[in-house]
Structure 1
Amino acid sequence: MISENIKIFVGCDPNNCDLEQLMVLEHSVRKHTQHNVEFIWMQLSHDINSPWYSDQETNQGWSTAKWATPFSGFRWAIPELCDFKGRAIYMDADVVVLCDIAELWSHPMSDEAIVIAKGGKSSARLCTCVWDCSKAKEYLPPLDEIRSDPDSHKNLMRLIKDKPQLVEPYRDSYNNIDGEDLTIEQIKVLHYSDMGTQFSHKYAIPRLAKMDQKHWFDGKIMPHPRQDLIELFDEYYAEALELGYKPENYLIEPFGTFSKATQINYQGNKVTRPDQETNWFNKQIRKIKAKFKKPTFTLDG
């Protein structure tokens, strides 16, 4: 048994758009583990004493204008918030955990790495990752500096790109993106990443409409191609309700308007939108270009 609490920091919308996601995520974690788990919901706040403080009018606190989500840059605050001690897990809210979270928490890490994440020499996805908070101190600026710089998220992503040895790769199934041709039994952590096909929309959007509120995702909403994964989410959603979880248990005082990059032209990913790859000629051109293209390091947003 792990003696300390497994700390899970979760990036969340600040206007109650994703309550269903939070409910399903928490239930999925607790369903599969006997270890003590502590959730820290990371949401923009008007409270000047909150680590997530942001005043969009005076440009104090976090600046979100260049982020893809309302919480993209929060992951960099985690090591300092843990006093640069121990480990901490970061997750986006759109996740269903299908294994004992202790597996991820206890994953081996090399001496050079400061974070465990999906990827390798050419890519890294920090949307589900494990920080070694002590080792991260050497590389991360102070939290006040990270929070006050509008480009901090981009700059710290560049740090990971320039120093890929800082990332210890784990099995892809610990951050499975929308199925990726694996069966449910093969998936450890399901990240239903495509913001346009998220399983929770069918619950959240009608709920928000009753309050004359719109979801923060402003792109096109479309069905997810994996019916089995849709049913999996619905199963966990129903289980959570039966166990006494309620979306309203996660309600907070809404933050209100915030700046964020638009997803009007959001393209999703190749897993959820295979039709984008059906033009044979364009597909072959891309393959030819790829042979001559210099390899680049890719990161999630």
Structure 2
Amino acid sequence: MNETIKIFVGCDPNNCDLEQMMVLDYSIHKHTQHPIEIVWMQLSHDPQSPWYSNQKQHQGWHTEKWATPFSGFRWAIPEYCNFKGRAIYMDADVLILCDIAELWTHPIQNEAIVIAKGHKNSARLCTCVWDCEKAQKYLPPLVQLQADPDGHKKMMQRLKEKPDLVQPYQDSYNNIDGEGLEIDQIKILHYSDMGTQFTHKYSIPRLEAAGQKHWFDGKIMPHPRQDLTDLFDQYYEEALASGYRPENYMVEPFGVFSKATQINYHGNKVTRPDQQASWIVSTFHKLKEKITGKKSKFSLDN
């Protein structure tokens, strides 16, 4: 395989995610010899950019209902690629522990336009692979996506209504905060809980020293798995030793933008099981499904 692997990464436009970007970049290249092209998807004031947003004039992307500064960008990737070839999307809070070519070459079969973590009634698109040509039939034009504050939600709903468009892959390609697996069983670690991310201890002091605040406004707490914390720190130090630097990923800050707050953010069932549905509620729903034969509605991540 000689083709360039295209990776699109959603990240903050005000330099909050520099440490995540550095470690992700390093971890991708550490495990592969294939040519890589990374597109950092960040809000931009440039009208020619596909990530353009002028929130005062209500032009470009409308972000006010997004959970992150980049939630809706994933839907623009196939058009960015001129509806040709493949493209990998991932959030910035990801650590690659395998050759990314494994994911790049994963088969996409039947009607599916994207492969992602999931089963018959759920999917997570936070690390996924697009078939850009097949996706064209189901995605609205970029200008329409940008102009609609509910565009991200509507696209999620479209996939819920037609789940055959999402083909599931091996869970360890988007392992959420460990999920009980040993490190050597994880291919791609997504430290997904925004409150327990390994980079807060690096980014928040850096931002405070510059008089800035992080875009995440929820409660910050330690990650429950020390081994994963240590693993990230190992990759962080390796990246620095290999010549990578957080400042290499800096951009001219975008400034203020609208998005949903995470003040009441509850993480996920892996990092904060006590804040998720109780065991009794979970068991009740499983019994109900077994008795009625009806599955829960198809669900997607944000």
- TM-score, length basis structure 1: 0.96
Counterpart in the other structure of 1:112:
111
Query: How far off is 1:254 after superposition?
Result: 0.3
Query: How far off is 1:274 after superposition?
Result: 2.8
Closer, same or farther in 2 for the Cα pair 1:289/1:110, shift >3 Å? closer
Aligned length: 297
Q: 1:57-115 CA deviation, whole Å, 9 max, x = no partner? A: 11100000000000000000000110100000000000000000000000011121100
User: How far apart, CA to CA, are the structure 2 residues paired with 1:289 and 1:168?
Assistant: 25
Counterpart in the other structure of 2:224:
225
Closer, same or farther in 2 for the Cα pair 1:137/1:289, shift >3 Å? closer
Counterpart in the other structure of 1:283:
279
Query: How far off is 1:19 after superposition?
Result: 0.1
Query: How far off is 1:3 after superposition?
Result: 1.8
Superposition misfits of 4+ residues, deviation over 4 angstroms: none
Counterpart in the other structure of 1:126:
125
User: How far apart, CA to CA, are the structure 2 residues paired with 1:111 and 1:132?
Assistant: 12
**One-letter code aligned to 1:287:** T
Q: Secondary structure at the match of 2:9?
A: strand
Q: Secondary structure at the match of 1:168?
A: strand
Counterpart in the other structure of 1:260:
259
Q: Secondary structure at the match of 1:140?
A: coil
**Greater CA drift, 22-31 or 107-116:** 107-116
- Please say if 1:292 is aligned against 2:293: no
User: How far apart, CA to CA, are the structure 2 residues paired with 1:286 and 1:132?
Assistant: 35
**One-letter code aligned to 1:292:** K
Counterpart in the other structure of 2:70:
71
Q: Secondary structure at the match of 2:19?
A: helix
Q: 1:141-191 CA deviation, whole Å, 9 max, x = no partner? A: 111111111111011111110111001110000000000000000000000
Q: Secondary structure at the match of 1:112?
A: coil
Counterpart in the other structure of 2:58:
59
User: How far apart, CA to CA, are the structure 2 residues paired with 1:170 and 1:211?
Assistant: 41
User: How far apart, CA to CA, are the structure 2 residues paired with 1:289 and 1:170?
Assistant: 25
Counterpart in the other structure of 1:47:
46
User: How far apart, CA to CA, are the structure 1 residues paired with 2:267 and 2:116?
Assistant: 21
User: How far apart, CA to CA, are the structure 2 residues paired with 1:140 and 1:182?
Assistant: 35
Query: How far off is 1:291 after superposition?
Result: 3.0
**Greater CA drift, 288-297 or 227-236:** 288-297
Q: Secondary structure at the match of 1:13?
A: coil
Over the matched positions of the two proteins, sequence identity in percent amounts to 71
User: How far apart, CA to CA, are the structure 2 residues paired with 1:284 and 1:81?
Assistant: 46
Query: How far off is 1:4 after superposition?
Result: 1.5
User: How far apart, CA to CA, are the structure 1 residues paired with 2:80 and 2:18?
Assistant: 24
Closer, same or farther in 2 for the Cα pair 1:52/1:285, shift >3 Å? closer
Q: 1:242-295 CA deviation, whole Å, 9 max, x = no partner? A: 010000000000000000000000000111113336x9xx53244224533661
User: How far apart, CA to CA, are the structure 2 residues paired with 1:202 and 1:57?
Assistant: 33
User: How far apart, CA to CA, are the structure 1 residues paired with 2:29 and 2:181?
Assistant: 23
User: How far apart, CA to CA, are the structure 1 residues paired with 2:282 and 2:89?
Assistant: 34
**Greater CA drift, 105-114 or 283-292:** 283-292
- Please say if 1:100 is aligned against 2:96: no
Counterpart in the other structure of 1:163:
162
Counterpart in the other structure of 1:188:
187
**One-letter code aligned to 1:296:** K
User: How far apart, CA to CA, are the structure 2 residues paired with 1:108 and 1:253?
Assistant: 39
Closer, same or farther in 2 for the Cα pair 1:112/1:285, shift >3 Å? closer
**One-letter code aligned to 2:301:** D
Unaligned runs of 5+ in 2: none
User: How far apart, CA to CA, are the structure 2 residues paired with 1:168 and 1:189?
Assistant: 18
Q: 1:184-234 CA deviation, whole Å, 9 max, x = no partner? A: 000000000000000000000000000111100000000001000000000
Closer, same or farther in 2 for the Cα pair 1:56/1:193, shift >3 Å? same
For 1:209-220, list aligned pairs within 5 A.
Answer: 209-220=208-219
User: How far apart, CA to CA, are the structure 2 residues paired with 1:288 and 1:144?
Assistant: 44
Q: Secondary structure at the match of 1:117?
A: strand
- TM-score, length basis structure 2: 0.96
**One-letter code aligned to 2:239:** A
